[in-house]
Each structure stands twice: as C-alpha cells, then as structure tokens.
Amino acid sequence: MHVQAAVTYGAGSDFSLADIELEDPRPDEILVRTAAVGLCHSDLTARQYFPGGGVLGHEGAGVVEVVGSAVTGFAPGDHVVLGFDACGSCRACLGGRPYRCRNFAAMNYGGARPDGSTALRVGETPIAGSFFGQSSFASHCLATARNAVKVDPQLPLDKLAPLGCGVITGSGTVLNALRPFPGSSLVVFGAGSVGLSALLGAVVTQVGTLIAVDIVPGRLELARTLGATHVIDGRSDDVAGQIRDLTDGGADYAVETSGAASVVATAVSSVPEGGTVALVGLGDLQGTITLSHYEMVMGRTVMGVTEGNSVPQVYIPQLIDLWRAGRFPFDAMITAYPFDKIGQAVADSEAGRTVKAVLTF
C-alpha cells in the first residue's frame, strides 16, 4: 500500500516526506494506522545507520487495521502503543528481560525484519525499515504482537505515544532498576524527556531530595514544576560539590541521561560510597568512559539501563494507571506537531525549545 513517510538518507540528513510502498502484513505482523509518534533522541542518532535511505520512528501509537493470520490477542480497531522489539526466544527474553535481548541491536536498529527483509520501498528501491519493530514515522507501519501494547481506546493516542520509548526509559530506570527508598536522594543529569521521566518516577517513589541538572533554563523550570526540589545549572562550578552539599555528602542515586562522558564522571563523583549511578544516555556509540578506580573500590555502583529495564506489556499499562490517577503527569513534556512539520520538531528539539515532540496524523 502507499503510505506517507518521513525518509532519511544518512547522518545528519533531513527527514523528507515521501509517498512510499509498505508491504502487506505477514502472518505474524499487524498493520497499524499511526495516529501519533514521538520523536526520540535515537531517531536523530540512528540516521547514520541508513545512508541508503530508511524510515525511523519508534514511539508509534495508533489503531490496528489488519491482523496477520498467525497473530492472536489483537483485532482490527484495537488501539496500541508500540514499544521496542525483542526476539522472544533468547535466554534473556525467556527469562522475562526483553530489554536485555541478545538480539536487541538486530531487532531494533538492523533496518530490517529478523529474516533480513524490509517491508519498505521508494519506487522500486528497498529502504531500511522495521526500526524498533515499527518504523512509525509513517502514516501506517507494521508491528508484531511482541512490541504492540493494547491500550484503552478512550485514551488520547497523541499523549500515549512517548510511552513507547523515552518515558519508559527514564521512569523505568528509577521504578524498575534503581527502586529508591522513600526519603532517599536522587539526581538526574539532563532534563530532557528521558531525564524528566526519571524525575517523575522518583516523585512516584517519594524520593526526598530530588535534583535536576541541565544547561537549558526552561527545562530546569519544568523540572521544578514536575517535582525537583533543587535545580542546578550544569555550566556552573563544581556541580558534584553542589550536589554533595545538598545531600549530606552525595545523592544515593544518580541517573545520567546526557550521554556525555564528562557528565558521567560528574555523576560518579556526586554519589557517596554505596551510591548507584545509572547510565541511560548514549552520545557516541564508540565512546569510552573513565572511572576513578578509588571511587569505584569504595563501593559505588555504575549500571547501564536499557529501555528502563521494562517489559512494555506490563509496564506501560502501569504508567497509564499512574497517569490517570494524576501521579505521573508525563504529558506536561509534550509539544504536538503535525506530521509534515517534522523538520520543525527536530529543530526545536535540538535547540532545547521542545522537550518531547509528538508528531500527529
């Protein structure tokens, strides 16, 4: 079928709108009419993988139109939020940890289905698809039962879309991975959508001292509105020292979302002996970080967290319940754009004017 999509051609290229061809769903696939799709940082960095052209987009939400013959549990008309994909058969998946799937890279940014085929063509030329099992920068996309999460059709899909990646990544780092004790202290580095989602998770768990660090004043302002007890300008002197002063010697937990190696070092220095740092952001895929041997031997823990250690089918409904109860106002981060304004959404996001852009159809 013809679909309208935003196609990219390599690192730094713009997203150009085009009418492209989408294959019919295979027996294990569902066809989803996209209602809204969030713009996530990985959509910008992943452009480099697909110099020959590809469709990104991995926070899709929409309505199921066609269900493959082998799919159970979904019907046309179902409303779904699309999350990350996982193979379902490796040791990690079988153990209930799809976010640790041994085939995560191939399943999510390989640019093709697990069997290597792509469902997308521009004219006769195949282009990369199946990004996070969806490639939802398009009016329609193919997903599977592995990464589709059914949601209440009464709920606004343009609000729910970011639950597919950014919001579960940030909040799950706190709620699933760190699990802070009520009254403890936590610092979030980077007050973008992932960092602010972490902050909202910390509010849910009744963290006592909750600090946000960023270099964009508007984001620090929003962090305060969402529950930060303190905010710090990341460009100010001795950020780790300021955090230690606010937390009686160091925050119990730190969540690093900026992806900058220098900020990782600051995060490690901002927690005390016994403190834990969660690394969530990734700027340079080839980058390395240097840790103080002494600080680590003294009992600090540094852990990497992917997709908030979450099982989307379990965790997204839990977040929706918290949101409906008024305890998880993640939609305060959203700025909506019509799909054809994707270029503006990218520019506003890169400039820090928009925290979480959601493209709507």
Residues contributing to the site for Zn ion (CB under 5 A): 40, 42, 86-87, 90, 93, 101, 165
Report the residue number, 192 or 275, with the smaller CB distance to Zn ion. 192
Q: Say which amino acid occupies 51.
A: P
In the complex, what is the shortest distance from the CB of residue 162 to Zn ion, in angstroms, rounded to a whole number? 9
How many whole angstroms separate alpha carbon 297 and alpha carbon 216? 34
Report the residue number, 134 or 269, with the smaller CB distance to Zn ion. 134
In the complex, what is the shortest distance from the CB of residue 93 to Zn ion, in angstroms, rounded to a whole number? 3
Report the residue number, 42 or 176, with the smaller CB distance to Zn ion. 42
Report the residue number, 84 or 230, with the smaller CB distance to Zn ion. 84
- String of b and e for 228-240 (b: at least 16 CB within 10 Å)? bebbbebeeeebb
In the complex, what is the shortest distance from the CB of residue 228 to Zn ion, in angstroms, rounded to a whole number? 23
Report the residue number, 184 or 197, with the smaller CB distance to Zn ion. 197
Report the residue number, 67 or 278, with the smaller CB distance to Zn ion. 278
In the complex, what is the shortest distance from the CB of residue 300 to Zn ion, in angstroms, rounded to a whole number? 27
In the complex, what is the shortest distance from the CB of residue 268 to Zn ion, in angstroms, rounded to a whole number? 24
Structure tokens at 14: 């713009």
Report the residue number, 87 or 246, with the smaller CB distance to Zn ion. 87
In the complex, what is the shortest distance from the CB of residue 202 to Zn ion, in angstroms, rounded to a whole number? 20
How many whole angstroms separate alpha carbon 251 and alpha carbon 38? 31
How many whole angstroms separate alpha carbon 133 and alpha carbon 141? 9
In the complex, what is the shortest distance from the CB of residue 349 to Zn ion, in angstroms, rounded to a whole number? 12
Helix axes 217-226, 193-204, angle to 10 degrees: 20
In the complex, what is the shortest distance from the CB of residue 88 to Zn ion, in angstroms, rounded to a whole number? 6
Report the residue number, 88 or 208, with the smaller CB distance to Zn ion. 88
